[in-house]
């Protein structure tokens, strides 16, 4: 076991031995620690619409087209491997 795994196991054992009325206090303490460790959330920008107007609209079923292309390329690769090995 790694030192981290051992530490987590010991913490879990200690938590199991705590009285029920102290668990909320422990939870709040852990959340406070995590807030101090994690960086503040950055301004997240949406990428929605990034591909708009680039021609993808012509495909009614884009996922179907991708599936078809994957199948064709797999078949092509398999045929090439068959020719190479024979």
| Encoded tokens for 35 | 């807030």
Q: Can you give the residue range of the structural domain that contains 28?
A: 3-37
What averages of pLDDT result for each successive group of 10 residues across the chain (86 residues)? 91 92 92 83 79 80 90 94 84
Residue 18 lies in a domain: yes
Residue 26 located in a structural domain: yes
In a domain, 70, yes or no: no
Q: Is residue 7 part of a domain?
A: yes
59 contact partners, CB below 8 Å, separation of at least 6? 65
Contacts (Cβ under 8 Å, ≥6 apart) of 18: 26
Domain count, the chain: 1
**Is residue 15 a part of any domain in this protein?**
yes
Q: With respect to residue 46, please indicate whether it lies within any of the assigned structural domains.
A: no
Predicted local confidence at residue 72, as pLDDT = 96
Q: pTM, whole model, 2 decimals?
A: 0.40
85 occurs within a structural domain = no
């Amino acid at each position: 076991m790694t030192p981290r795994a051992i530490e987590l196991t010991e913490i879990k054992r200690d938590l199991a031995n705590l009285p029920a009325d102290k668990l909320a206090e422990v939870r709040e303490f852990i959340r406070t620690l995590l807030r101090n460790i994690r960086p503040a959330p950055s301004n997240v920008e949406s990428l929605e619409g990034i591909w708009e107007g680039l021609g993808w609209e012509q495909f009614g079923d884009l996922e179907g087209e991708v599936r078809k292309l994957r199948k064709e390329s797999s078949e092509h690769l398999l045929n090439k491997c068959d020719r190479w090995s024979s």
